[in-house]
């Protein structure tokens, strides 16, 4: 018996093809991966065939070749896939927050296909500063004395705390000791920076007197954090920056203001509540204001700190600034995005503001165009949101293309999944028994892709 088993498996093993045989198979030879990668994939597939042979399954040469091709295909298809955001959430963090303007995109291309004057002064040929390009623009637009730009707002906060409050106390209201998302929690950032968190007040109410009583000889700063992804209602009270400044100034305490979204525009114009703007914070006299580049600013991922020259110099000279520095592509995109504000053309050029300012008439027309490809859908009035940690609870009126549960063959989840399998994938949302596609967060030039995906599904 034992002899038989041995004999059988010997046979099976003998039938396994050699690496050379798999490698020279036409369907492997034509693969575009390098020879080294092919050899390694063939070895792996043969090992797999040996393993399953031990369990009694014999794979043919074709099975092995198929496995090699599948593995090669998986390797070739890693990378970011362009998707269409029809969720109606304009700054969708999982979909990459803000799309770039055309000018920002071409600035990225220009800065990275060849070389740039990133850190060279073209007048004297000497070493220049990576920040000088963007600093003047930020000074002009925000009114601040100085600015530095880093990788993202989380690193701007880390850098700021480490630069002005290492081993010193930073006073934060309990109502603002928050989690922003993606594991970004104020107490954790504080600990990582070497600053000592001193929480004051209660979750719902904090007064100027709470800040005043908490000041000690070891207090370096007050930190205000904008509650960017939630709202508090009812019996609440928080201290405004303007109310806190006199105390900070008279006691020689820094005031840091993390405003999150980096809004440079009065959002009241669009029927939303006013998101705190960078200019307001700078104008009030805050020594350090921090914000993101890829939220309502509408640019690339970046963290921006603007403030007094003295404070910004402290941040620039901290070695952490090197560890969190911005790369040339983001810098190029940020400069191009800021120029849209300088030239007062943000509403026409920056996708996020095109989306916010789109009229319900326009949106309805686009949704009706989409409808032509799906007879069983309807146009339904709905609401878009800003998302991405800005204007929580605020909505903009919109018209969506809606597919009701009763018309969704295989159910709403099935329709949603089919739309995600389209090329490019279209992401919608399910709400109130319907699958919804909102044109507000879709770029107008992507309308055809939506129509095609709908026609297929």
Which of 264, 283, 289 is CA-nearest to residue 274?
Answer: 264
Size of the site for ligand PLP (CB under 6 A): 13
Residues 346-385 that bind ligand PLP (CB under 6 A): none
262 touches ligand PLP by CB under 6 A = no
Q: Which residue number has the CB closest to ligand PLP?
A: 260
Nearer to ligand PLP, 169 or 275 (CB): 275
Task: Tell me how far CA of residue 271 lies from CA of 87, 259, 327, 410, in angstroms.
Answer: 20, 20, 36, 39
Among the listed ranges 207-215, 223-231, 245-253, 311-319, the one in contact with ligand PLP (CB under 6 A) is 223-231
* Minimum CB–partner distance for residue 151 and ligand PLP (Å): 8
Which of helix, strand or coil describes residue 184? strand
- The correct pick among 68, 162, 171, 180 for binding ligand PLP (CB under 6 A) is 180
Distance CA 195, CA 150 (A): 20
The DSSP H or E segment spanning 341 is: helix 328-342
Q: Is 431 exposed, middle or buried (0-12, 13-18, 19+ CB in 10 A)?
A: middle
Q: How many CB atoms lie within 10 A of CB 70?
A: 12
* Minimum CB–partner distance for residue 226 and ligand PLP (Å): 5
Side by side, the strands of the sheet bearing 429-431 are 378-385, 395-404, 434-437, 429-431
389 touches ligand PLP by CB under 6 A = yes
DSSP conformation letters of 92-128: -GGGTSSPPPHHHHHHHHHHHHS---TTB-TTT-SB-
H-helix segments, 176-308: 186-193, 208-214, 241-251, 278-284
- The correct pick among 65, 161, 225, 244 for binding ligand PLP (CB under 6 A) is 225
Residues 113-172 that bind ligand PLP (CB under 6 A): 152-154
17 touches ligand PLP by CB under 6 A = no
Among the listed ranges 27-35, 192-200, 225-233, 372-380, the one in contact with ligand PLP (CB under 6 A) is 225-233
92 touches ligand PLP by CB under 6 A = no
- The correct pick among 71, 198, 226, 339 for binding ligand PLP (CB under 6 A) is 226
**Residue holding tokens 């044109």?**
439
DSSP conformation letters of 130-141: TTHHHHHHHHHH
- The correct pick among 17, 99, 260, 387 for binding ligand PLP (CB under 6 A) is 260
* Minimum CB–partner distance for residue 229 and ligand PLP (Å): 7
Distance CA 225, CA 246 (A): 18
Nearer to ligand PLP, 45 or 180 (CB): 180
258 touches ligand PLP by CB under 6 A = yes
Residues 227-256 that bind ligand PLP (CB under 6 A): 228
311 touches ligand PLP by CB under 6 A = no
* Minimum CB–partner distance for residue 186 and ligand PLP (Å): 8
- The correct pick among 105, 106, 130, 184 for binding ligand PLP (CB under 6 A) is 184
175 touches ligand PLP by CB under 6 A = no
* Minimum CB–partner distance for residue 390 and ligand PLP (Å): 7
292 touches ligand PLP by CB under 6 A = yes
Among the listed ranges 107-115, 197-205, 222-230, 395-403, the one in contact with ligand PLP (CB under 6 A) is 222-230
Backbone φ and ψ for 157, nearest 5 degrees, come out as -65, -45
Contacts for 346 with CB less than 8 Å, ≥ 6 apart: 264, 265, 298, 340, 353
* Minimum CB–partner distance for residue 222 and ligand PLP (Å): 15
**Is the separation of the CB atoms in 158 and 324 below 8 Å?**
yes
303 touches ligand PLP by CB under 6 A = yes
* Minimum CB–partner distance for residue 267 and ligand PLP (Å): 15
Task: Tell me how far CA of residue 430 lies from CA of 88, 180, 235, in angstroms.
Answer: 11, 25, 33
Which of helix, strand or coil describes residue 351? helix
Backbone φ and ψ for 150, nearest 5 degrees, come out as -125, -170
* Minimum CB–partner distance for residue 156 and ligand PLP (Å): 8
Distance CA 382, CA 431 (A): 10
* Minimum CB–partner distance for residue 396 and ligand PLP (Å): 19
Nearer to ligand PLP, 153 or 385 (CB): 153
Nearer to ligand PLP, 292 or 337 (CB): 292
| Site residues, ligand PLP (CB under 6 A) | 152-154, 180, 184, 225-226, 228, 258, 260, 292, 303, 389
């Amino acid at each position: 018996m034992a002899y038989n088993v041995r004999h059988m498996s010997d046979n099976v093993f003998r039938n396994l093809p050699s690496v050379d045989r798999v490698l020279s198979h036409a369907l492997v030879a034509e693969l575009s991966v390098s020879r080294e990668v092919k050899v390694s994939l063939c070895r792996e597939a043969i090992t797999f065939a040996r393993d399953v042979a031990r369990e009694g399954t014999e794979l043919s040469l074709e099975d092995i070749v198929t496995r090699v091709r599948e593995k090669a295909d998986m390797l070739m298809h890693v990378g970011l896939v362009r998707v269409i955001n029809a969720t109606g959430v304009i700054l969708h963090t999982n979909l990459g927050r803000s799309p770039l303007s055309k000018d920002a995109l071409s600035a990225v291309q220009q800065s990275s296909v060849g070389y740039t004057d990133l850190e060279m002064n073209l007048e004297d040929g000497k070493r220049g500063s990576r920040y000088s390009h963007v600093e003047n623009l930020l000074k002009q637009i925000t009114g601040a004395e100085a600015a530095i730009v880093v990788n993202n707002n989380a690193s701007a906060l880390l850098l700021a705390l480490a630069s002005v409050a290492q081993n010193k106390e930073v006073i934060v209201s309990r109502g603002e000791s928050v989690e922003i998302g993606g594991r970004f929690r104020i107490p954790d950032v504080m600990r990582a920076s070497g600053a000592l968190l001193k929480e004051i007040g209660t979750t719902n109410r904090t007064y100027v007197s709470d800040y005043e009583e908490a000041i000690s000889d070891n207090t370096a700063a007050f930190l205000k954090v904008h509650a960017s992804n939630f709202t508090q209602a009812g019996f609440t009270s928080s201290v405004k920056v303007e109310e806190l400044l006199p105390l900070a100034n008279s006691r020689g305490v820094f005031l840091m203001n993390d405003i999150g979204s980096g809004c440079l525009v009065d959002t009241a114009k669009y029927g939303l509540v006013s998101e705190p703007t960078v200019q307001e914070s700078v104008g009030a006299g805050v020594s350090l204001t921090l914000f993101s580049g890829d939220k309502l600013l509408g640019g690339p991922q970046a963290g921006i700190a603007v403030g007094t020259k003295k404070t910004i110099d402290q941040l620039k000279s901290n070695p952490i600034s090197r560890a969190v520095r911005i790369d040339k592509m983001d810098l190029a995109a940020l400069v191009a995005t800021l120029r849209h504000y300088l030239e007062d053309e943000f509403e026409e050029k920056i996708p996020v503001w095109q989306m916010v300012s789109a009229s319900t008439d326009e949106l309805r027309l686009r949704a009706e165009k989409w409808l032509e490809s799906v007879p069983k859908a309807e146009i339904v009035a709905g609401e878009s949101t800003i998302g991405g940690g800005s204007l929580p609870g605020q909505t903009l009126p919109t018209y969506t293309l809606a597919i009701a549960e009763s018309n969704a063959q295989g159910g709403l989840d099935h329709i949603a999944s089919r739309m995600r399998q389209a090329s490019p994938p279209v992401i919608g949302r399910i709400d109130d028994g319907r699958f919804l596609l909102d044109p507000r967060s879709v770029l107008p030039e992507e309308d055809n892709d939506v129509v095609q995906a709908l026609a297929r599904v």
